[in-house]
């Protein structure tokens, strides 16, 4: 069996922590080397992330040459703007990279700068990066994979059958997406303070969320007539999970059976997408797993299709999909290292 040494940059964020835990259970990973991109000395993991309580492992200062000498692939679980500065040597040497940040998801540098408000990576590198929506875009034979955002994953998986099968008016897409607080990251803010989150719902970044352009970019790959979407985001008083509720108008002559057939056609053979028909899914049934569950209702009166898409934002929406990309990249079993047991209660 092939055994690999993996570099992980960015262990301090929630996404990096969960990715680290999942990689420890991967049958092809024999060693995980941790690096901090903003530290200049070696620290114990228990110092850097007390929650993990691991005093045996260390977090080393970041060095691209060291990584390429002793590791076989690298995961970046860093915030936006970091990999655009660090990824150059890996791209130059075609070293395998899976990037959980948004720095290489968009194909146009000006679009990245508009939505992320940071300097973009080189245009040729953006063009060459692979957008790793694993259920549709295989990472096999790719070397730089841009892992999709959590909202983007839930929304695109919900829309894919409708757009690919040309069942809907592409100018009528409305998305009401909601996320737990871990999606906002560890950085403190007034919005994520307990007294603000508890017993409350908060709309934020309506029509300005940075995952919007990557959603539209992928939709355009499926149907070039897509121009834009109406997209709102709400912060939920829960820790993990995303519910993306999608509303879209069916084209004349399209009925509920055709919609149902489209979802079966696209997802019946998909390991990690479970289509539940008219039984609408809840966040609780996917928390802790790499599943995306999709339920669909068709309103005969208004000719509106509603899709409910749920994922765990830290697994299928981040580290889990990153491991799926890793498995595709190296032709490993698609389920290796990925959790399927729901966290209960």
CATH class of 4-148+316-329: alpha beta
Contacts of 56 (CB under 8 A, 6+ apart): 45
292 classed as catalytic: no
Residue-by-residue pLDDT tens, the chain, 345 positions: 999 999 999 999 999 999 999 999 999 999 999 999 988 899 999 999 998 877 789 999 999 999 999 999 999 999 999 999 999 999 999 999 999 999 999 999 999 999 999 999 999 999 999 999 999 999 999 999 999 999 999 999 999 999 999 999 999 999 999 999 998 877 778 888 999 999 999 999 999 999 999 999 999 999 999 999 999 999 999 999 999 999 999 999 999 999 999 999 999 999 999 999 999 999 999 999 999 999 999 999 999 999 999 999 999 999 999 999 999 999 999 999 999 999 998
Spatial strand order of the sheet with 29-36 comes to 43-44, 58-61, 29-36, 4-9, 73-76, 97-99, 144-146, 130-131
Q: How far apart are CA 95 and CA 144, in angstroms?
A: 8
Q: Do the beta carbons of residue 67 and residue 43 sit within 8 Å?
A: no
Full-prediction pTM beyond 0.95?
yes
Q: Do the beta carbons of residue 104 and residue 128 sit within 8 Å?
A: no
Q: How far apart are CA 10 and CA 3, in angstroms?
A: 22
In this predicted structure, what is the pLDDT of residue 39?
Answer: 87
- The ranges assigned to domains in the chain are 4-148+316-329, 151-313
Beta bridge partners of 293: 274, 310
In this predicted structure, what is the pLDDT of residue 15?
Answer: 95
Tokens of 223: 């149907």
Q: Exactly one of 87, 150, 197, 254 is catalytic; name it.
A: 150
Fold (topology level) of 151-313: Dihydrodipicolinate Reductase; domain 2 (3.30.360)
């Amino acid at each position: 069996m092939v055994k690999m040494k993996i570099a992980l940059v960015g262990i301090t964020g929630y996404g990096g922590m969960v990715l680290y835990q999942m990689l420890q259970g991967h049958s092809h990973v024999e060693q995980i080397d941790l690096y901090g991109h903003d530290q200049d000395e070696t620290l114990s993991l228990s110092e850097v992330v007390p929650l993990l309580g691991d005093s045996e492992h260390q977090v080393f200062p970041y060095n691209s040459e060291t990584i390429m000498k002793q590791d076989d692939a690298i995961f970046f679980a860093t915030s936006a703007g970091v990999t655009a500065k660090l990824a150059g040597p890996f791209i130059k040497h075609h070293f395998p990279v899976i990037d959980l940040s948004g720095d290489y998801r968009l194909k146009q540098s000006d679009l990245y700068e508009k939505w992320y408000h940071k300097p973009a990576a080189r245009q040729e590198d953006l063009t060459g990066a692979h957008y790793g929506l694993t259920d549709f875009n295989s990472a096999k034979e790719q070397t730089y994979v841009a892992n999709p955002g959590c909202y983007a994953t839930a929304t695109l998986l919900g829309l894919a059958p409708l757009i690919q099968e040309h069942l809907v008016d592409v100018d009528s897409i409305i998305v009401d997406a909601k996320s737990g607080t871990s999606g906002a990251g560890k950085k403190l803010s007034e919005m994520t303070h307990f007294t603000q989150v508890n017993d409350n719902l908060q709309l934020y970044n309506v029509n300005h969320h940075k995952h919007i352009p990557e959603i539209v970019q992928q939709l355009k790959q499926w149907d070039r007539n897509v121009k834009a979407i109406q997209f709102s985001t709400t912060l939920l008083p829960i820790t993990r999970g995303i519910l993306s509720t999608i509303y879209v108008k069916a084209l004349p002559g399209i009925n509920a059976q055709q919609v149902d057939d489209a979802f079966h056609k696209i997802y019946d053979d998909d390991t990690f997408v479970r289509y539940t028909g008219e039984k609408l899914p809840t966040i609780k049934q996917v928390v802790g797993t790499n599943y995306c569950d999709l339920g669909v209702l068709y309103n005969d009166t208004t000719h509106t299709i509603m899709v409910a898409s749920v994922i765990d934002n830290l697994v299928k929406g981040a580290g889990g999909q990153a491991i799926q990309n890793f498995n595709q990249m190296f032709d490993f079993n698609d389920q290796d290292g990925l959790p399927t047991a729901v966290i209960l209660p």
